[in-house]
Structure 1
């Protein structure tokens, strides 16, 4: 076990007390995209940086509760709440480290074993009974017109809504958006017979814990929702194609994409049903279009919106990050 420093951060001490846990042991502080994190020998403590993701921990706790009697590897949430330092959550610490941490030094056999165990975990996840309307509260807020703290995961039924949101932008490309609306309308029938399942919604190297070559836990269910099972592939394949864009924190680097080229094939071998949907690539491009539209319509930075507009045009021509992936 690692050692770092005793639990002496005032915010950490207040959170442990609120959770009814002793302030003993040593904790490793880690930065995150939206949370401060302390990793102890037995517990992981998270404290929201700014509270933008309304009820994210409460939602995550509800989702994890759904997993209690399943075979999905996950960390139990011991307590969560709101305090003077903001929303907080305490969960058990799982054995191992993140895929992001272990991947560079792992040999090909170990990497394959990790991804095959991921496939088993995902199959179990997608079999968990789930309310058909499950949606993170912060995402429901965004779809209702409030600010967007994140731009994924895709929600099939809200795709045309993103076109309308983009049309309200000053200086929007009306011809492009008309083409996008037609493109979406032509593809909605692909999803008509789908049964929603429990989808993690944000699976990449930092949200999988592994130990001895197998996944010991899927973590961070703040974006989990009920959608078609292959929505899960949207982030996984984007991670494979653009891994450098998925660093664990803003100050770190993502993995080298060339080390992930076999991941889709390994996952296909372990969970073939996930890839067997008719018109899978068109479906995946639809999910991609949703994400790019959300960025184009809602991102506060103009350069990000412009880049999304360029990728939307590429999608209309049939090209995306999927072009270089095989399974």
Structure 2
């Protein structure tokens, strides 16, 4: 244990600074995986992410949702920290390449059961991560998902404030959104994980032992969950666990939507599901177009917005 940050964090939680820990990189966190505990240290980019996660994990207490029990969380001189129990197994991302087809199907069916349980957990209708509240109020955007249905037109207005924005495109987008808002009028919000892909699911012996990283959990329609899952299936190479690694091969995920549909059919049974999924995708692409700091990425998102107006996106390649 050579890194002084780890023993300081363990001490702050009242835990012994002993045992074997393996350091792992992440997108926004430093992670140490021990025999009993997982210690995470946030870079502070996502305001109150761990406090939000702790509140969500508390909602899961007594439910059938597989998850890691919270040990402690807090803020220290090294930044916000969160300690949870170590779940058996490894990430779905790590387990997937060597798993045979039957094991892969069993893992996805177990994921469907976990999601059904998650979406049944009582949740405050206004649950939203503090960093996302900040972003919607005009502060920087550390992430561009999960979709927030009620804030979709807001992204059009944000894009209109960009120098050199495409005013004709945005006028068409605003009309497109307004024509579809009624699709969501009767929805009841549920607890949505919001960032569900291979790195945020722990599996062992063909079953899910835990959903992890609830920093983006939000109260939204249940099928918002499909936005990230299906995006991951179609564009898995864009979802590596760290910036230095590679994502999975999309062709190996081709059967995932169908397996998930069989395990959790209610998630796919909404009227006009494809239009709803297109709407969620429009939110994400608009948010990137309006707020991403890199011009070339904003331009690529603008192009995808144009394709969405004609009904084309990554969903075209998926079968469920």
Query: What range describes the TM-score normalised by the shorter chain of this pair?
Result: over 0.9
Q: Deviations over 1:115-145 (max 9, x none)?
A: 0000000000000000000000000000011
Match of 2:270 in 1: 277
* Aligned-partner Cα distance in 1 for 2:192–2:180: 21
* Aligned-partner Cα distance in 1 for 2:170–2:8: 49
Alignment of 1:43-122 (within 5 A): 43-49=37-43, 51-122=44-115
Question: Partner of 1:104: helix, strand, or coil?
Answer: coil
* Aligned-partner Cα distance in 1 for 2:35–2:29: 19
The answer to whether 1:12 aligns with 2:10 is: no
Q: Deviations over 1:1-31 (max 9, x none)?
A: xxxxxx3310111100001100111100000
RMSD of aligned alpha carbons = 0.4
Q: 2:308 aligns with which of 291, 315, 318?
A: 315
Match of 1:3 in 2: none
Q: 1:42 aligns with which of 24, 33, 36?
A: 36
Match of 1:4 in 2: none
* Aligned-partner Cα distance in 2 for 1:102–1:79: 28
Match of 1:171 in 2: 164
* Aligned-partner Cα distance in 1 for 2:313–2:14: 49
* Aligned-partner Cα distance in 2 for 1:81–1:152: 25
Which stretches of structure 1, 4 residues or more, deviate above 4 A after TM superposition?
none
* Aligned-partner Cα distance in 1 for 2:280–2:149: 7
Match of 2:293 in 1: 300
* Aligned-partner Cα distance in 2 for 1:284–1:254: 23
Question: Partner of 2:219: helix, strand, or coil?
Answer: strand
Match of 1:23 in 2: 17
**What is the number of equivalent residue pairs in this alignment?**
320
Match of 2:283 in 1: 290
Question: Partner of 1:20: helix, strand, or coil?
Answer: coil
TM-score (normalizing by structure 2): 1.00
Question: Unaligned stretches of 5+ in structure 2?
Answer: none
TM-score (normalizing by structure 1): 0.98
Q: Give the CA deviation at 1:321.
A: 0.2
Question: Unaligned stretches of 5+ in structure 1?
Answer: 1-6
Q: 1:130 aligns with which of 92, 101, 123?
A: 123
* Aligned-partner Cα distance in 2 for 1:56–1:119: 25
* Aligned-partner Cα distance in 2 for 1:19–1:37: 15
Q: Give the CA deviation at 1:261.
A: 0.3
